[in-house]
Amino acid sequence: LTSSPVSQPTTLRYPPLRLRGGEKSQVVSQVEECFKKSFGAEPDHVIVAPGRVNLIGEHTDYNDGFVMPCAIDFHVAAAISAAEGKTLTVAAQNFDGEQSKIELGGELKKVSDKTWSNYIRGVCKILQEDKGYELKGANMVLGGNVPQGGGLSSSAAFEVATATALNHVCKLGLRPKDLALVGQSAEHWVGCNCGIMDQYISAQGKEGHALMIDCRDLSTRDVSIPKGAAVVIVNSRVKHQLAGLDSEYNTRRSQCEEAARHFGVTALRDVTSETLKAHADELDPETLKRARHVVTENERVLEAVEALQKGDLKRMGELMAASHVSMKDDFEISIPEIDALVEIMSAVLKGEGGVRLTGAGFGGSVVCLCPEAKVEELRAAVAAEYPKKSGGTEASFYVCHASQGARVL
């Protein structure tokens, strides 16, 4: 995957400057200032799109299952103004205003320098070449504070911000769902065969809510997060560079597909725990474990919806704990450092909320849903205990709240 232009130091340990209501965040101010410096005028429009974290529902998306992410208040901002001609000139605020020119109207190809611009090129390609929309010339600056490499979807926020900005300036009339699909297709074009979750939640998040997504028909359900609850994300700052890591993911996907074929269904979404138990001896042990994770994880997502709507953080915590055990033992995508974070944070929570690995696995981050009153105790415990179990590596600690999706300010 090419570099995203929203990278930030992974040692960030303070809450983000939140973007709520009409408040202008530091990110927006920096992007506006970069626009004035780059183009000599104020931008006509400013758009923001958030990063995300998945509360529960891991490796279920490509099995036609359920996921439940929430948008977070780390975000990407796009400042844009229409310009004469058919050139889109883009500057990356996080890369000191480095510019790239994209000639619209003709065939768009990826570039080997300024690779961050390939995300914008991808969005433009999907809109004009695949969807048939006419794009107009514009000047645009993008920047953000979505931490890169922590599994918070900086690239999805970047794509959705770009698509939303072009939709607004070129008056395309696309809905948030459409913009999410454009962003997903752009990411595929860049080179990452992602599911729909990241772009969907960035485009359609709702303040104070998670979004339960049915990955089969793309229907959604807003799920309120209890008042006084914080979303804490802790990046282990460990990413195991396993030889053939892509093959590890591909093998798991193939095993899931093999299990679905065995049961004569389109995807594991259509298999229940009871059916799996009754026919467990018909699958090889490893395929059975992979299938069991997906089947039980789908059930946990549906139960998590009910728990959150009741404001039951205790039950939500139990479901998150079970999800982590399943990823560790059945899907086998956790690592010792992640397990250490879960252990440290669970000892502080004492049943008031939950913590689990979030994202693809083999490193990355954990997500914790907990009372705001627990945040500082969690921060202190992670700072004191994690380096002892990680060979001295310090974790990055982020405090977030469920935020609104992409919008024009």
d(CA 150, CA 141): 24
Neighbours of 9 (CB within 10 A): 9
d(CA 71, CA 204): 8
> Is-catalytic flag, 198?
yes
Amino acid identity for residue 372 in this structure = E
Report the DSSP pairing between strands 138-144 and 87-92: parallel
Question: Which entry of 61, 64, 73, 198 is annotated as an active-site residue?
Answer: 198
Beta-carbon contacts of 363 under 8 Å, excluding residues fewer than 6 positions away, are 236, 238, 239, 240, 335, 337, 338
Closest-CA residue to 45 (of 162, 200, 204): 162
- Integer angstrom CA distances of residue 100 from 87, 109, 191, 208, 386: 10, 13, 20, 37, 41
Beta-carbon contacts of 241 under 8 Å, excluding residues fewer than 6 positions away, are none
User: What would the two tokens of residue 20 be?
Assistant: 């709520």
d(CA 65, CA 396): 30
d(CA 368, CA 379): 12
Under DSSP, the state recorded for 327 is H
Q: What is the C-alpha radius of gyration for the chain, rounded to an integer number of angstroms? A: 21
Report the DSSP pairing between strands 98-103 and 229-239: unpaired
d(CA 215, CA 301): 12
Q: First CA to last CA across the chain, in angstroms?
A: 30
Phi/psi of residue 114, nearest 5 degrees: 45, 50
Give 162-223 as a DSSP string. Answer: HHHHHHHHTT----HHHHHHHHHHHHHHHT----SHHHHHHHH--TTEEEEEETTT--EEEE
d(CA 67, CA 302): 9
Active site residues: 198
